[in-house]
Structure 1
């Protein structure tokens, strides 16, 4: 969603820069790349660690989500990404079921749906509606089940390697449409997520008091990261295209090579 269909990463960056400034530290592009696609329960520990501060992760998580909600609901700040309206319209015209799958909470997804058009999606899955967020497969497995489609017959479109890893782990045909240059590798995402989830900060961030209607996802213990050879195999399956303009119906049909298909951005 963020960075793929709508241009909202700059809004998250505002919140992240303000949080970093409250600790007297700068928010760097390296931090931004590391956090892309993560849910708050892993993004916050990553950010605090990279800032080198011993901040309250629950407070940090609340600040980021509350500030982002405020920005997302400000008229004119959330805009569609190039190629998104055309792709979504073509998918609907072709009768292809679609799911919007995001690590963002429902309070953040709803303003985006108001802009994109709720009728363009068969199913929507927000980050506070699954047990584990990206880069774990749960969001895409939940979406595939809701669509009644085998994950292997689903095409996942992602703008971050964090989200791409979730799609690949779910067994979906996954396409990366990078929103920024210099994204971390799948192996780097897996390693940093493992390290972040091993911290007390992750549990505190996951348990932070969240906006009304949101529920914290439990942080599982240990054993998240596939073996190195599994990551290499997943990387070999990942497709990359420059923009959404390169994602056509023919491209998606060839990618899945089965019918019916489903698309989950």
Structure 2
């Protein structure tokens, strides 16, 4: 194992740890159509990685005659129903998370989903998989603002610049990059372009703590 390791690893949830975006998309479609509106796949893609308050405002603009909180709760309820039937883990995610635990590297789940959604996914993992959780209803500013990642680092007692963040969306990566973390983009439902602000890994399958260590060490060398 490399001698230079990140102080912590910060994980996005939807699209990174689990492939829940199709659940969100179908839930949005059901909700909009129940009010007589139309919601297409291309509409749903624009909300990937966004905060739920923003998503609620967009859905109200499509005719959903409910308050922001009612929309958020209905969507979350419907997504959780689907997750109870099957948790769609992303390839390699649980194995890498377990290896981080074995190496003693703290982790945080940093999601724009609300806390009860994050707690549900956390409960499906071995106890102690995540050291801390930061949920969308616990921060004032949603991604792409860096607040959630900065809060996660604060809860772990480390500087964000000493952390690695793993994300799947441009919105999430913008948040993580702005926090100062070393960032990995693992694309799924939205394409990611090569950027100086993050490294793209096509998948987490086969990735190890050593891979994270090498990436972190390289980032420190380039910053020196």
Q: Distance in 2 between matches of 1:120 and 1:26?
A: 39
Offset of residue 92 of structure 1: 1.1
Of 5, 22, 26, which residue of structure 1 is paired with 2:34? Answer: 22
- TM-score norm. by structure 2 comes to 0.82
Structure 1, unaligned stretches of length 5 or more?
Answer: 186-233, 259-265
- Which piece of structure 1 moves more, 173-182 or 151-160? 173-182
Partner of 2:214: 254
Matched, 1:127 2:139: no
Of 89, 94, 104, which residue of structure 2 is paired with 1:80? Answer: 89
Partner of 1:4: 16
- TM-score norm. by structure 1 comes to 0.70
Offset of residue 87 of structure 1: 0.5
Whether the 8 Å contact between 1:69 and 1:107 is mirrored in structure 2 is: no
Offset of residue 118 of structure 1: 3.5
Q: Distance in 2 between matches of 1:47 and 1:182?
A: 23
1:54-87 deviations in Å (ceiling 9; x for gaps): 7445243343233334434x3x322321101210
Q: Distance in 2 between matches of 1:173 and 1:130?
A: 21
Partner of 1:237: 197
Matched, 1:61 2:72: yes
Partner-residue secondary structure (3-state), 2:183: strand
Offset of residue 106 of structure 1: 1.0
Q: Distance in 1 between matches of 2:135 and 2:210?
A: 28
Whether the 8 Å contact between 1:133 and 1:139 is mirrored in structure 2 is: yes
Of 97, 111, 115, which residue of structure 2 is paired with 1:106? Answer: 115
Q: Distance in 1 between matches of 2:101 and 2:117?
A: 23
Q: Distance in 2 between matches of 1:103 and 1:54?
A: 21
Structure 2, unaligned stretches of length 5 or more?
Answer: 1-12, 219-224
Matched, 1:157 2:152: no
- Could you say if the C-alpha distance between residues 113 and 62 of structure 1 is closer, same or farther in structure 2, counting changes exceeding 3 Å? closer
Q: Distance in 2 between matches of 1:125 and 1:54?
A: 28
Q: Distance in 1 between matches of 2:53 and 2:42?
A: 19
- Could you say if the C-alpha distance between residues 42 and 169 of structure 1 is closer, same or farther in structure 2, counting changes exceeding 3 Å? same
- Give the length in aligned residue pairs: 205
